[in-house]
Amino acid sequence: MKLKPTLIAVVLSALAAHPASAEFQRQPRVSGIETYGYKWNPSDQDMNKALAYKANAKKGRATYKICKGCHQADGSGLADASYPQLAGQHASVIIKQMMDIRAGRRDNPRMYPFSGEWIVSAEEIADIAAYLNQLPPPAGNGKGDGANLALGKHLYDQDCASCHGKNGEGDAKKFYPMVAHQHFAYLKRETRESRDQGRRNTNPDMVKVLKNYSDADVAAVSDYLSRLTLPKK
Ligand code: HEC
Ligand code: HEC
């Protein structure tokens, strides 16, 4: 894990300011898709607060210092899938994923210490999300080997475009992520984990379409998506 000294200082001061600092490191775990009766995107007080708040991208730019040691200053993440690209992502999606991580609906032990209210309030998360949403798509991103793009496009158009959009643009109102121009390795991992129900906050209707996907199918569709470009902001 690559952490900048300033980031470490921010976290240490937040930990020191909080009485129960030992608890920070351990992410809670609430039931997810592995549980019978799972409901995707349950009502979440913190999320409602962040969504209702009138976000300020300029303030978000400053608060993003907590995140940029991992997700990079331009929101590009890393191609090796260790950190997803966040630049250009829908604010609603960033807010939902953040609240899922903080509530323990999406496992992310590495990020958990940077996600709780001891370090960012719901309003600050909304500010960061507004800031990230208006960042231009980073120039480069990780792509696959290009060997099965026709299959990837076929699968995407048939099974995924109805939710994620014709060009992978997602749908902010429905919390469907933008998947175009994301890093290949991250797309592949998240798609595979969703299929295998390892991404516990995943959408059950998406799991249904993925059920019969081989790893090669997942790689083909991920490669196709990593090459889609988004309109310039
Ligand atoms: C210590 C490194 C680290 C820090 C700091 C960090 N993150 Fe993350 N973040 C990650 C990792 C790792 C993942 C991917 C987890 C996975 O694969 O499920 C992630 C995933 C995410 C996602 C999900 C993206 C998606 O496409 O679903 C969002 C949103 C996010 N981070 C926002 C933030 C914000 C906002 C901050 C600052 C408040 C932050 N992160 C700080 C490591 C970090
Ligand atoms: C029924 C609508 C639906 C369909 C169909 C669907 N998805 Fe999704 N997808 C979603 C939703 C909703 C999420 C976010 C889930 C969550 O809350 O974590 C998601 C998340 C993802 C992610 C993770 C994005 C990120 O930033 O972490 C990837 C990758 C993905 N989908 C790929 C696909 C692929 C490939 C297909 C087709 C094989 C597909 N999806 C079909 C709704 C759908």
**Amino acid, res. 127:** D
Please identify, by atom number, the ligand 2 atom nearest to the C-alpha of residue 40. 17
- pLDDT digit string, tens, across residues 84-102: 999 999 999 999 999 999 9
Q: Which of 67, 121, 222 to mutate to test the pocket of ligand 1 (most atoms within 8 A of CB)?
A: 67
pLDDT score recorded for residue 134: 97
Check whether 215 has a pLDDT greater than 90. yes
- Which amino acids bring their CB within 6 angstroms of ligand 1? 1, 66-67, 69-71, 82-84, 86, 94, 97-98, 108, 110-111, 114, 120, 128, 177
What pLDDT does 6 receive? 60
For all residues of the chain together, what is the average pLDDT? 92
92 within ligand 2 shell (Cβ under 6 A)? no
Mean predicted confidence (pLDDT) in 117-138: 96
**Cα distance between residue 219 and residue 217, in whole Å:** 5
pLDDT, average across residues 143-168:
98
Condensed to tens digits (0 to 9), the pLDDT of residues 74-83 reads 999 999 999 9
Query: What is the per-residue pLDDT for 7?
Result: 58
Handedness of CA 82, 85, 89, 91 (dihedral sign): positive
d(Cα 217, Cα 111) in Å, to the nearest integer? 29
Query: CA 74, 78, 79, 81 torsion: positive or negative?
Result: negative
Residue nearest to atom 7 of ligand 1 (CA): 111
Q: What tokens were used for 37? A: 């009766």
* Nearest ligand to the C-alpha atom of residue 87: 1
Distance, CA of 171 to CA of 144 (rounded, Å): 25
142 C-alpha to ligand 2 centroid (Å):
19
Please state, for a pLDDT cut of 70, what percent of the chain lies above it.
Answer: 89
The answer, yes or no, to whether residue 71 has pLDDT greater than 80, is: yes
Ligand showing the shortest atom-to-Cα distance for residue 226: 2
Statement: residue 147 has pLDDT above 60? yes
Ligand 2 nearest atom to the CA of residue 178, by list position: 26
Q: Would you tell me how many other CB atoms lie within 10 Å of the CB of residue 25?
A: 10
Residue nearest (by alpha carbon) to ligand 2 atom 4: 206
Q: How many CB atoms lie within 10 A of CB 97?
A: 22
- pLDDT at residue 20 in the model: 46
- Look up residue 168 and give its two tokens: 């992978």
- According to the model, what pLDDT value does residue 1 have? 46
pLDDT digits (tens, 9 = 90+) for 19-61: 445 556 789 999 999 999 999 999 999 999 999 999 999 999 9
Which residues, in sequence order, are CB contacts of 212 under 8 Å at separation 6+?
none
Q: What is the largest CA-CA distance in the chain?
A: 55
- Residue 98 CA: nearest ligand 1 atom is 29
